[in-house]
Structure 1
C-alpha cells in the first residue's frame, strides 16, 4: 500500500476519472487513509482497530463501482467486485459467499506475483533470450546408442510410452555446440536485444498452462486442490507455439520468472496483503434486503446471514491457507429504490457504519463526463476513429446536445445514469464508424445539427427510444 498518499491526493486522483460525487470520494479517501494510519500503530493497537465499512447509496450509473475500483488502483490493493444476487443461502444451488474472499486472495496473488517477477525480470529475460536463440540456432543433438546400453533400450522405450515429455527433455539437454553455433547464438542474442528480430517467427516449447477455474463451493475447491497435487507429481507437459521473437521473449520471460521465484513465498505474502489491504465491493446489496416486495424472502435473508460472519471477521479456508477477514474493507452498494438500508438485517446494517449518498447526474455532469476525465468517452472515440485516418472534432453545442438528450431519456425511460452516454454517442457516430475504414475523410466536425438529426427521430418515438437508446 502507498503509505505517503493523503486523503486530498486520493480525491484528486479520483477526480481524474469520476465527475462529481465529492462526498463519496471524501468518505472512501478517509476510509483508505485510516487503513494507512492503522499500519503505523503498534501491534496491540492494530489488532483493535477495524476498518469502517462503507455503504454507497445511489442510482445506477453515477460512479459507485468506478469509485471503488479506482480506489483499489490508487492503493495498489487487492480488489474484487461481486454481486450479492449471485449468492444463495447455504443449501441452495449457487455460489458460496466465502468464494468472494478466495477470489480476493487470487487477486492479491496476482499483485504479489507481478512484483516478484519484476524483481527477477532481468535474469528471467536473459534466460528467455537464450532459449529463443537456441530455438533459432539449434545445436547438434547427440543420439544415444541403445544397442550398447546393456538392456537400456527396452527401458528407454518403456519410458517413452509412459512419459515422452521427460525423455524428450533429457534428450534436448544433450547437444553438441560447436564454436560456429556458439558464435551464431551470441550474434542472435544481440540482435534480439536490439529488436532487429522482433517480427521474425520462431517455434518455441513452453510448459502447458493449467486451466484456472473459480470454485463454486468448498467441496469443489478440495477436488481442485487434489488435482493440483497430482499435477505436481508429473512433469509439466510441453506445447509448441509459433510466435514472433518479441512475443516469444515475453512468454518465456514469464515462464522463467515463475521458476526463479518461490511460489510459497508468493502465496503467504498474498494472504497477508489480502488480509491487510483487501477491498471487497458488494454490489446490488439492496436486492437481498428482506422487505423487498419480490419473492424469496427466506433465501435473501439467508444470504445476508451468510455474508454477516465474513464482514464481521472470520477465518476462511483457501487453497493457499487460512485468511482472516477482520481487516478487509467491505464496500456495499445499491440503488435502494424499493428497499431501504434499514431493510437489511440489523446485524449487517451495523457492519456498514459509514453511509454515503451519491447524487443523481444532471446535464452539466454529463457534459463534463464526456470531455473531462482522462478516459472520457469523446477522447476514446476520437482515438478509435483516428486509427482510420479520421480526425473528429465535437463542437461545444454538439456535446451539450448529447448531454441534454441523455438527461431527457433518463427522465422519460429507465434512469441508467452515465451509461446512457454510451448509447447516445454510439448512435450519433454510427454512420461514421461504419464508413470510416473505406473513406479518406480527413477532418470531420460533429455539430449540434448533426447530433439532433440522428437522435430526435428516435427520442421523439417513445417506443423506439426504449429499444435503441
Structure 2
C-alpha cells in the first residue's frame, strides 16, 4: 500500500517516476551541453540526425545502423522506420569495453541560438580594455619592444570592437587586420603573445607552422591550427570564431629554392593558409590534427578570427642589405658596401619585396597587411629582463631560495656580467636562463645542507669563474626574530 501511495502522489503531480530519475541523472551528468556523436561515422547529431543509444556513451546514427544491417540481411529491412526504443537490450559485443574509446575532447557543444543572442547583447563595447591599458599590462612582463606592444594592443582592441559591432545596417563592415611579426630569435615574439593570452579573456591558440604539410601528406593538416583554437574555446564554435590565432615559425614555410621535388611543407602550406586568413567556412577536425582521422568535423567561419604570424626570418638581413647596396654607385656619393654590416636593427627597413625574395608568396603577404618588427636585445635590455618583469628570472630563483629561508641577492656588476655572456651566445633572452642555470646549480645543491646560511650574494667574479659567491650566516638577532 505504501508503494501504491507513492505512485499515486507522483501521478497527481503529473510526473512519472522515470522522468524523475532522468532529471536526477541529467543534473549529475549534464550531457545535454554536448552533441551526441556517431560511434561509426563520427558525425555529430546536428549533421547525422537523431542517434540510436546503445549505451550512455555509445551512439550510432540511423544511416550507419542501416548500412550495418544491410550487410547482414542484404537490405530487406528499412531500419530508419523502426522504433529502436522498444527493442530488447540485446548486444553481441561487450559495449562497456568501447566506452573508453571516445575521448571527451572530441565532443562538440550544442548550438543554442537564444544563448548566442544573449551573449552578444551582454558584450558591452565600453567594457573593452583600451590599447593603453593592454600595453600597460604587457609592460609589466615584457621589456622594450615598444612598437610591437603598441601595434598588438591596437590590433586586439580593434578585434574586440569588431566582435561587439557585428554587421550594422549602414553596410559598413570592419575588416580584420592580420599581422606579421618579424624579429630575431629570443627577442620575445612568442612570449609577447603568451603574455597577451594570460591577460585577455578571449580564446587564443598558439600553433607551430613547422609541422604543417599539404593535405594528404604525413604531418598536421592546415586546419589543425583551428583545431587548437576550438580546443581552447572548450569546443564552443561560436566562442572560437571570435578568437585569436598565433602561428609561430611562419618563416619555415617559405618557398624552397633550387628544388625539383614537390614543396609540400613550404609554398603549398602558404596557399592552404590563404582561405583561413581571408575568411571562409572551414571543416575542422575536433580533437585531432588531421581530417583523415575518424573524428567529428565541425564547420568554422574564420571571418572574425584574428591571425598573428611570427618568425625570425634568418638571413633576411642579407636580402635587405643587398637591396640597400644597390643604391651604391661609383662616385663621391657612393655608399660603402660594409655600411650596414654592424646595424643590429637593420630588419626595421624590411619591405614586402624583401619578404617575397625570402620565399613568401604575394597572396600570403597581401592577407597580412600589418607588418612590424621587434628589435634585437641590447646589453641594457638584458639587464632589465633579468630583474624588472613580474616574472623575471632572478625573482624566480629568489622565491625558490626564500622557501629555504635564504635571501638571494645580485650585485650590479653580476647582472652586467650575465648580460654580457648572453650577448656572446647571440640567442636572445633564451641565453639568460641557460647561464643562470649553470652558476646556480652548485648554490641550489649546497644551500640546503647548512641551515645557518641566511644570505647568498652573487658577484661578477663568481659569474666569470674568478671566485665564489658571498655567503652570510644567520645572526643571533635574526634567529630570535624568527
TM-score higher than 0.5: yes
1:314 and 2:280 matched: yes
* 2:187 alignment partner, SS class: coil
Relative to structure 1, is the Cα distance of residues 450 and 56 closer, same or farther in structure 2, using a 3 angstrom cutoff?
same
Q: 1:27 is matched with which residue? A: 151
* 1:280 alignment partner, SS class: strand
1:423 and 2:419 matched: no
Number of equivalent positions: 291
1-structure distance, mates of 2:221, 2:385: 37
Shift of 1:406: 1.0
* 1:367-378 equivalence runs, <5 A: 367-378=383-394
1:286 and 2:251 matched: yes
**TM-score, structure 1 normalization:** 0.58
**Preserved CA contact (<8 Å) 1:370 1:377:** yes
* 2:185 alignment partner, SS class: coil
Shift of 1:450: 1.4
* 1:107-118 equivalence runs, <5 A: 107-109=232-234
Relative to structure 1, is the Cα distance of residues 46 and 296 closer, same or farther in structure 2, using a 3 angstrom cutoff?
farther
Relative to structure 1, is the Cα distance of residues 333 and 316 closer, same or farther in structure 2, using a 3 angstrom cutoff?
same
* 1:429 alignment partner, SS class: helix
What CA deviation, in whole Å up to 9, does each residue of 1:232-266 have, x standing for no partner?
Answer: xxxxxxxxxxxxxxxxxxxxxxxxxxxxxxxxxxx
Shift of 1:442: 1.6
Shift of 1:46: 8.6
Match of residue 398, structure 1, among 400, 411, 414: 414
* Superposition CA RMSD, Å: 2.3
* 1:48 alignment partner, SS class: coil
1:88 and 2:213 matched: yes
What CA deviation, in whole Å up to 9, does each residue of 1:206-230 have, x standing for no partner?
Answer: xxxxxxxxxxxxxxxxxxxxxxxxx
Q: Which structure: greater helix fraction?
A: 1
Unaligned runs of 5+ in 2: 1-122, 285-295, 317-353, 469-482
1:344 and 2:360 matched: yes
* 1:326-345 equivalence runs, <5 A: 326-338=303-315, 340-342=354-356, 343-345=359-361
**Preserved CA contact (<8 Å) 2:207 2:228:** no
* 1:42-441 equivalence runs, <5 A: 43-44=167-168, 48-109=173-234, 270-276=236-242, 278-291=243-256, 298-299=263-264, 300-318=266-284, 319=296, 321-338=298-315, 340-342=354-356, 343-410=359-426, 416-440=427-451, 441=453
Unaligned runs of 5+ in 1: 110-266, 411-415, 457-469
1-structure distance, mates of 2:178, 2:306: 6
Shift of 1:74: 2.2
1-structure distance, mates of 2:259, 2:437: 35
**TM-score, structure 2 normalization:** 0.57
What CA deviation, in whole Å up to 9, does each residue of 1:36-95 have, x standing for no partner?
Answer: 222343523698322100100111111111111222332211111111110111121111
